[in-house]
């Protein structure tokens, strides 16, 4: 049975797509990170990530149109090189790691950032992390975005304490993820993850 004719694929893919849409709309920010793990119940993490690529491109383009005036250029210039470094690291490690190892990495990172949010939630007194920590977290965001489109937890660990205006926060991250997701098409094709 091919994945196209497998009803279990659709049973998890449809909710995964809806979660991504809700997350990108801003209604349930961060919940989209569950999309790839949900799809990984029936297909491998790399293939689940590849299936989501066209949807991400479409939602990113809509986000760019909505937020074209509100993003922070200086912050974006800081984010992009480190995010792209994370994509490069993800590309290099993808060939070395098995699908089970990639799934394990995703699970560990998800649990770490969940623990961080539970035990150290941001509040009005939270000071922004130093830029070196930001560089590490943004690189990790690029990496986790590459392996499973789950870049939000590490990025939020750095960006939320910056206390940006909500529109500036949303716009800057919309532009960041657009460029990160756009940069993933070539490595995904190189790794043989994209097919009809």
Integer-rounded Cα radius of gyration of the chain: 16
Per-position pLDDT tens, the chain of length 196: 556 677 888 888 888 878 777 766 655 556 666 777 777 777 877 777 888 888 888 888 887 887 778 888 999 999 999 999 999 998 888 777 776 776 677 677 777 767 776 776 666 666 778 899 999 999 999 998 888 787 888 888 888 888 888 888 888 888 999 999 999 999 988 888 887 7
CB 57 within 8 A of CB 182: yes
pLDDT in tens, 22-39: 766 655 556 666 777 777
Q: Closest Cα to residue 148, out of 53, 84, 65, 62?
A: 53
Residue 184 CB neighbours (<10 A): 25
| Chain-centre distance for alpha carbon 70 | 21
Which single residue is written with the structure tokens 């066209």? 54
| Chain-centre distance for alpha carbon 165 | 21
- The structure's pTM equals 0.82
CB 178 within 8 A of CB 60: yes
Alpha helices in the chain (DSSP H): 7-25, 35-39, 45-66, 73-96, 99-119, 131-148, 152-159, 166-183, 185-190
């Amino acid at each position: 049975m091919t994945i196209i004719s497998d009803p279990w694929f659709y049973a998890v893919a449809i909710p995964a797509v809806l979660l991504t849409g809700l997350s990108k709309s801003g209604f349930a920010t961060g919940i989209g990170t569950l999309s790839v793990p949900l799809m990984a119940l029936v297909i491998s993490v790399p293939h689940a990530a590849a299936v989501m690529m066209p949807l991400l491109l479409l939602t990113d383009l809509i986000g760019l149109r909505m937020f074209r005036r509100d993003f922070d250029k200086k912050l974006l210039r800081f984010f992009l090189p480190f995010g792209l470094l994370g994509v490069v690291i993800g590309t290099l490690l993808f060939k070395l790691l098995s699908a089970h190892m990639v799934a394990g990495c995703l699970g560990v990172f998800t649990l770490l950032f969940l623990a961080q949010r539970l035990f150290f939630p941001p509040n009005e007194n939270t000071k922004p992390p130093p830029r070196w920590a930001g560089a590490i977290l943004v690189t990790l965001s690029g990496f986790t975005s590459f392996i499973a489109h789950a870049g939000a937890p590490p990025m939020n660990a750095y960006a939320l304490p910056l206390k940006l205006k909500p529109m500036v926060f949303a716009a800057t991250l919309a532009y960041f993820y657009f460029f990160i997701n756009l940069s993933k098409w070539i490595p995904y094709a190189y790794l043989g993850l994209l097919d009809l």
